[in-house]
């Protein structure tokens, strides 16, 4: 117990023995003023009591702010040039010969919205980035918030949670570049804060661009992927392959990646990375390697009895789609009763000895074709 409380306790113990506590009230009970205005409270002590001392304090036990002044005799409390944090309950403590009594009053401070953006901008973005800006507003009464684009009265779609109103682009596009305004409004005032969305990095930051976002190359050929980068100092360009090492037959020169004699396993995404002291920028080329079909027959040789069923399958690797065509070497026409399917099967339900011979499958795609032979021998 500090000495003041001890003294007050002592006083009230003495007073309760000798008489009645003072009757106290504070006027006005509730006051609402705007920020910057002044407000006064008066502590009134009922007649008849011998009040010896009046004291003011805040109900939350915080010290009185430096713009709060107490008049002579402690009767009047005045707040000059009110601030938001002056809001609260104020208590007048009257200590008399017969004890002490507390009365309180509430002061409310209205103030116009104060708005803060996060990030503050300007926002430097790339096409396709996910971008969001939070607008946080305080004010009394609690302000209403909205977002709009400079030069347009239309309110933009945004989400508000606990005084934070967020505008968001899941995939930002060049036409989204511009100035956006968060507005917060209450009965005291309107506050607006702007943020600019700019495409492009910080000055000098690298910006990489590939000559082709997609490439299709035929197996065995040589391909060159070009990447150009702007930035200052001039960025260093490196190439890598997504989730795989670069093919071993590669060279990099002047920002271009060359792959010689590509195979199907070289298909994938290649990343150009331009780096300088300001950061890095990535650009992607998706490359597909296409190959002509390579056909085989299963089986390649077959011996059958008269009346047996013949099934030949033509298998082919290569880029899809692949078409199959069966024929008979030296004869042209397939035997009557035979049929072939789209996936490369040839079926003769009942073979005759005259069906013996060499059968040919030609597999064709848009790159080229390949043939496979099957030797069929039917014994009489």
Ligand X SMILES: *[C@@H]1O[C@H](CO)[C@@H](O)[C@H](O)[C@H]1NC(C)=O
33/271 with CB nearer ligand X: 271
25/240 with CB nearer ligand X: 240
The CB-of-250 to ligand X minimum distance in angstroms stands at: 15
The CB-of-323 to ligand X minimum distance in angstroms stands at: 40
C-beta of residue 32 within 8 angstroms of C-beta of residue 108: yes
Which residue, judged by CB position, is nearest to ligand X in the bound state?
A: 273
Residue 99 corresponds to which tokens in the numbers above? 């004890």
C-beta of residue 22 within 8 angstroms of C-beta of residue 49: yes
Helix, strand, coil percentages (3-state) for the chain, rounded to 5, are 10, 55, 35
The CB-of-236 to ligand X minimum distance in angstroms stands at: 9
Helix/strand/coil for 108: strand
165/281 with CB nearer ligand X: 281
Helices and strands in the chain: count of H runs, count of E runs: 1, 31
169/280 with CB nearer ligand X: 280
167/274 with CB nearer ligand X: 274
Task: Give ∠ CA 361-367-369 in degrees, rounded to 5.
Answer: 15
The CB-of-131 to ligand X minimum distance in angstroms stands at: 21
Q: Output the CA–CA distances (angstroms, integers) from residue 31 to 49, 88, 106, 208, 230, in the order listed.
A: 27, 10, 6, 62, 63
The CB-of-222 to ligand X minimum distance in angstroms stands at: 24
DSSP one-letter code for 119: S
Helix/strand/coil for 96: strand
230/240 with CB nearer ligand X: 240
Contact set with ligand X (CB under 6 A) = 240, 271, 273, 275, 280, 282
The CB-of-284 to ligand X minimum distance in angstroms stands at: 9
Residue 15 corresponds to which tokens in the numbers above? 């007073």
């Amino acid at each position: 117990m500090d000495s003041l409380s001890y003294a007050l306790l002592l006083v009230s113990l003495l007073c309760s023995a000798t008489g009645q506590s003072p009757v106290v009230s504070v006027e006005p009970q509730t006051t609402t003023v705007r920020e910057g205005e002044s407000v006064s409270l008066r502590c009134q002590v009922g007649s008849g009591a011998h009040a010896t001392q009046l004291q003011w304090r805040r109900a939350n036990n915080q010290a009185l702010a430096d713009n709060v002044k107490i008049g002579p005799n402690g009767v009047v409390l005045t707040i000059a040039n009110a601030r938001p944090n002056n809001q609260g309950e104020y208590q007048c403590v009257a200590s008399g010969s017969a004890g002490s009594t507390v009365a309180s009053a509430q002061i409310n401070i209205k103030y116009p919205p104060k708005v803060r953006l996060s990030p503050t901008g300007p926002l430097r973005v790339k096409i396709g980035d996910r971008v969001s800006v939070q607008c946080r507003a305080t004010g009394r009464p609690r302000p209403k918030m909205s977002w709009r684009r400079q030069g347009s009265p239309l309110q933009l779609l945004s989400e508000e949670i606990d005084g934070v109103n967020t505008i968001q682009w899941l995939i930002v596009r060049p036409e989204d570049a511009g100035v956006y305004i968060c507005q917060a409004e209450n009965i005291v005032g309107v506050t607006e804060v702007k943020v600019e969305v700019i495409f492009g990095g910080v000055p000098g930051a690298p910006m990489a661009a590939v000559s082709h976002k997609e490439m299709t190359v035929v197996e065995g050929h040589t391909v060159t992927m070009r990447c150009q980068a702007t930035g200052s100092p001039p960025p260093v360009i490196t190439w890598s392959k997504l989730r795989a090492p670069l093919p071993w037959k590669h060279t990099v020169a002047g920002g271009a990646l060359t792959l010689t004699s590509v195979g199907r396993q070289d298909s994938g995404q290649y990343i150009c990375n331009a780096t300088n002291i300001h950061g890095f920028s990535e650009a992607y080329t998706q490359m597909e390697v296409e190959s002509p079909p390579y056909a085989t027959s299963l089986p390649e040789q077959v011996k059958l009895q008269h009346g047996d069923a013949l099934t030949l399958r033509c298998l082919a690797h290569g880029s899809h789609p692949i078409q199959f065509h069966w024929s008979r070497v030296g004869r042209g026409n397939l035997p009557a009763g035979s049929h072939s399917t789209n996936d490369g099967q040839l079926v003769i339900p009942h073979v005759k000895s005259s069906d013996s011979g060499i059968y040919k499958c030609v597999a064709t795609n848009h790159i080229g074709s390949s043939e496979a032979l099957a030797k069929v021998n039917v014994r009489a």
